[in-house]
Amino acid sequence: MEDQWRGPLYPARLPSLHRIPAPAALADRIRWFWIPEWDLAPGRTSRQEVLPFPALNLVIEPDGARLYGPATRRSFRDLTGTGWAVGLLLRPAAVPFLCPDPGALKDADAVLDVPGLRIPVTEAMAAGTDDGGAARRAAAVAEASGWVEATLPKPPPESLLANRFEELIEANPSLTRVDQAADLLGVSVRTLQRIARKHVGLPPLAMIRRYRLQEAAERLRTDPGLGIADVAAKLGYADHAHLTDVFREVLGFTPSGYRREAASGGDQGK
């Protein structure tokens, strides 16, 4: 998929990350499953830095399940030892079934008591395989998919409109304003604000800006010949300085600094 490496800021650091599309029947509730696995030498740490999608994630790990709310800044996690996680990147339409107020989880997370999901996924990931782990990952995804099908109902029309808003932002890099999106969806700006708050927990403009920033980071990382001013122009930023200000505010570094660090692969661990 085209956005396979959007999210992780330094893909070269990843020990192992598999993204598996959701079954067609669940595509209105789950965008994809993501499964990192790591086995690091004693004393070694691998820092994973992420510019998250403007969405919620349901994550199962050996010690439990958590719902991660929408993030307003980059996040990181230091990996050590051996481990895994099975994440479900939720579509907006799935969120009200799991969290009545996603805005309350902004930059936060909450424990989920879902033994019917956690136990079978954990058992699947504990299985030994001689195929690089493909079979256990497939089994974990199958268990999680069955749980979603049985637990999260088919979304109502308003929730599907929230999905359409997400799809519209991603498909149109030139879309930079909320009124543009509202016109294309045939709703009022106020309706779009209410839908975003209910299904993502962020204002619609914050969602638009996050996708544009993700795309800017991806272009800076993957196309070294593209000037920073050109990246800014293609994605609706006023100029080079505007893009730099946004990078500093959200990520804590400049576009040029990020490009240099990404080109070197980043810090591979300590």
Is the residue at 195 inside a domain? no
- Please count the structural domains in the chain: 1
Tens-digit pLDDT string for the chain (270 aa):
345 456 788 877 777 889 999 999 999 999 999 999 999 999 998 888 888 899 999 999 999 999 999 998 888 889 999 999 999 999 999 999 999 999 999 999 999 999 999 999 999 999 877 888 999 999 999 999 999 999 999 999 999 999 999 999 999 988 999 999 999 999 999 999 999 999 999 999 999 999 999 999 999 998 989 999 999 998 888 889 999 999 999 888 999 999 998 888 665 444
Cβ atoms within 10 Å, residue 200: 28
User: What global pTM score does this model have?
Assistant: 0.91
Residue 1: per-residue pLDDT: 37
In a domain, 253, yes or no: no
3 belongs to a structural domain: no
What pairs with residue 49 in β-bridges? 76
Domain assignment present for 23:
yes
In a domain, 87, yes or no: yes
Residue 166 within a domain: no
Residue 73 belongs to domain spanning: 11-151
Between the CA of residue 49 and those of 1, 7, 52, 171, what are the distances in Å? 21, 9, 9, 25
Hey, what are 169's tokens?
């932002």
Core vs surface per residue 88-106: b (16+ CB within 10 A) or e: bbbbbbbbbebbeebeebe
pLDDT, position 86: 98
In a domain, 238, yes or no: no
Distance between CA atoms of residues 89 and 32, nearest Å: 6
* Amino acid 15: pLDDT: 77
pLDDT of residue 267: 53
